[in-house]
Amino acid sequence: MRPQRGEEVRPQRGEEVTSPKTREDVVRAAGRLFAERGYHGTSMRDLGQELGLLGSSLYSHIEGKDQLLLEVIRRGGAMFAALAEEVVATGGTAAEQLRRLVVGHVAIITEFLDESATFLEEGRFLPAEPRAELVELRDAYEDAYRAVLTTGARSHEFHNVDDPALTSTLILSMLNALVRWYRPSGRLSPEEIADGILALVMEGVS
């Protein structure tokens, strides 16, 4: 009665009425699993099961597994790019801009945890060509931090930025690590976390 090979879990039938899945559903579920198990740790059959269908059924919604990774990553990346653009366009003092970058970054990660984690952690598994797109996007984003820090150092708002490239890397390290430890049920709200990061970045511990 069972197929010769491929003991794939069948979708439930009966009781639960499930509507047809959209491409949107597939991309969102992919973000969830890529963030949780990693790209190489997620099979198309895993992804199908998450949605209540077979792995092979996904191919009517998407082109392939790596296209799916690319799409999740683009969604994550676009939000960070939009933040940097908005902050630079709005202007203000260097300290104000840095504050908006940090608050916005924390907001994006905490609200779109799966897409952010996939963008930040799984990008290296992209094929060479689209990976170049991602590297460009990340470099541009880091440039916003570097520019703000450089401006602030020149205007004497910041007295302790000897190496804006290093400082921006360190600030982004704190921010990006959020995808590793932030959980909505955790002790601290996104606002409290952003305040804590800003306190450390602005004043240090002593």
Partner DNA sequence: CCTACCGATCGGTAGG
Q: Which residues bind DNA (CB under 7 A)?
A: 3-7, 10-11, 20-21, 42-46, 48, 53-57, 59-61, 64-66
Residue 56 touches which of its own copies, DNA, none (Cβ within 5-8 Å per kind): DNA
CB of 203 to its own copies, least distance (A): 4
Task: Write the DSSP assignment of 142-180 as a string of letters.
Answer: HHHHHHHHHHHHHTTS-SS-S-HHHHHHHHHHHHHTHHH
CB of 35 to DNA, least distance (A): 15
**Angle, CA of 71, 115 and 107, to the nearest 5°:** 135
Q: What count of other Cβ atoms lies within 10 Å of the Cβ of residue 59?
A: 12
CB of 6 to DNA, least distance (A): 5
Helices 113-121 and 23-37: crossing angle in degrees, nearest 10, is 60
Residue 150 touches which of its own copies, DNA, none (Cβ within 5-8 Å per kind): none
Contact between 163 and its own copies per CB under 8 A: yes
Q: Choose which of 16, 24, 129, 203 interacts with its own copies (CB under 8 A).
A: 203
Q: Choose which of 15, 181, 184, 185 interacts with its own copies (CB under 8 A).
A: 181
Q: Choose which of 154, 169, 189, 191 interacts with its own copies (CB under 8 A).
A: 169
Contact between 162 and its own copies per CB under 8 A: yes
Smallest CA-to-CA distance from 77 within 201, 177, 176 is with 176
From the list 48-56, 70-78, 81-89, 174-182, the region that binds its own copies by CB under 8 A is 174-182
Taking CB atoms within 8 Å and a gap of at least 24, the contacts of 2-9 are: 8/45, 8/54, 8/55, 9/49
